Amino acid sequence: MSKAIVATASLAGCFGCHMSILDIDDRILKLIELVEFNKSPIDDIKTFTKQCDVGIIEGGCCNSENVEVLKQFRKNCKILISLGECAIMGGLPAMRNGIPVKECLEEAYLGGPTVGLNSEKIIPNDDELPMILDKVYPLHEIVKIDYYLPGCPPRADLIWNAVVALLTGDTMNLPYELVKFD
C-alpha cells in the first residue's frame, strides 16, 4: 500500500495541537510507516509539492494570510480536518470577537499597560504584514471541513485513533475520555 500523504499547518493557534500530535510517543515510528508528510512544520516543507490525502489544521483564521493558507489546503488536500478548539470555534484568539478590531489594536499598541516602548504611538501597518480580520473565524466558516477533533489540545490518542481510522477505513474508536473541549 502506498503511503498516504499528509500536510499540516498552524494558523491562529499556539502549536499546542502540533505538540499533541508528537505526544503519540513511539507510535510516531508507526506513523511514518503509514504516512508521508508534505507541507508541514513537522518536516519544514513550506509549499505543497503534490496533492495530499489529508490536511490537518490547527488554529482559526485571524488574518488574511491564514485565509490564503487555508484555501491552499482545501485545494491541495482531499480531506481536511479541523484540529482543536481554535480551528473549530476560534478558541482563545476569538475572545476578541465581540470587540471591534480598532478597540483591540488601540488597547494592544496605544492604551495597554505594556506599550511604553511604542513612543511614536504606531499601530503596525507595514504592507508586508497580513491584514487582521474583523474577527477570528472558525475554519468551517471559510472552507468546507470534513472532520473535527476537539480539545485544547486534542488528546494524542484522539488524533491517533482518527488518523488510523481514516487511513485504514476502520470505524473510529471514540471512548468518552477522548472527546474534551479543554
Partner 1 sequence: MSETVKFTIDGKECTAVKGQLLIDAAADNGIYIPLLCHMRDLVPAGSCRICTCKVNGRYMSACTTPVEPGMNIESNTAELNDIRKAIVEMLFVEGNHFCPSCEKSGNCDLQALGYKYQMMVPRFPYAFERRELEASTPKIFLEKNRCIFCKRCVRLIKDEQGRSIFAFKGRGKTLEINIDKKLAANMSDDLTMKAMNACPVGAILKKEVGFINSIGTRKYDKEPIGSDIEKIHQ
Site for partner 1, rule CB under 8 A: 82, 85, 88-92, 94-95, 97-99, 135, 138, 140-141, 145, 147-150, 152, 174, 176-177, 179-182
Reduced 3-state DSSP string for 52-71: EEEEEEECEEEEHHHHHHHH
Place of cell 500523504: 5
Number of CB atoms found within 10 A of residue 47's CB:
8
Residue 53 CA: distances (Å) to CA of 36, 56, 139? 10, 10, 18
- Report the candidate in 33, 132, 12, 28 with the shortest Cα–Cα distance to residue 84: 12
Q: What is the dihedral of CA 102, 108, 110, 111, to 10 degrees?
A: 100
- Taking the C-alpha atoms of residue 174 and residue 179, their distance in angstroms, rounded to an integer, is 8
Q: What angle do CA 86, 88, 93 make, to 5 degrees?
A: 25
Among left, alpha and beta (phi > 0; psi -120 to 50; other), residue 174 is beta
- C-beta of 159: minimal distance to partner 1 in Å? 13
